[in-house]
Amino acid sequence: MKSQLYTIYKQTVVPALKQERGYKNVMQVPKIDKVVLNVGYGRQSKDKNYIDRVDHTLNLITGQRPIRNKAKKSISNFKIREGMEIGSSVTLRGPQMYNFLYKLINLTFPRVRDFRGISPKSFDGQGNYSIGFKEQLAFPEIGGEAADIIHGLQIVVSTTARTNEEGRALLEKMGFPFNKK
């Protein structure tokens, strides 16, 4: 079964971007390639209970088991040694990605406290967009028992767009609520 967001992309976004941007071929229209969720452990990198709770939270949010990222280099000022676990991440592609983005746009953003839209300045220069959450409580999957440890997370939406303008046009048509500043 296709995701609602995927059908919106195919039926409305692709023709609109093709006409608006003057693409000659459907394959030139940018698309969302992958979505990556990252959580850094920070000071709690030695607390096994904290790490397990973060992994459980990412599993609840995405429906996919996260991988644990290890430090590539030692940094003495941050008390990090090479090979030490410093974060968790999940990469979503295909139907899971579209289902997650649909949930993010329609359920999670409205639940964020004092939400006025996402910043249009968080593009990286190549059409990819980053969103940061200070707490994971905005996600509807997080219940009472998972809320005892509060942590932030970062969501990176990777697109095939070549410029920030193409990436923003794609995400706006998909329904991302950019603020008007």
Number of domains in the chain: 1
In order along its 181 residues, the chain shows pLDDT tens digits of 688 889 999 999 999 999 998 889 899 999 999 999 999 887 777 778 888 888 888 888 898 999 998 888 888 877 778 877 878 999 999 999 999 999 999 888 888 888 888 888 889 888 899 998 887 777 777 766 656 778 888 999 999 999 999 999 999 999 899 887 6
Indicate whether 4 belongs to any domain. Answer: no
| Predicted pLDDT of residue 145 | 61
pTM of the full structure:
0.87
Indicate whether 16 belongs to any domain. Answer: no
| Predicted pLDDT of residue 181 | 62
| Predicted pLDDT of residue 66 | 93
| Predicted pLDDT of residue 37 | 93
145 near 117, Cβ under 8 Å? no
| Predicted pLDDT of residue 144 | 63
Q: What is the CATH number of the domain that holds 152?
A: 3.30.1440.10
Taking the C-alpha atoms of residue 41 and residue 35, their distance in angstroms, rounded to an integer, is 20
**120: exposed, middle or buried (C-beta count within 10 Å: 0-12, 13-18, 19+)?**
middle
Alpha carbon 28 to chain centroid distance?
23
Indicate whether 133 belongs to any domain. Answer: yes
Indicate whether 118 belongs to any domain. Answer: yes
What residue numbers bound the domain in which 151 lies? 37-174
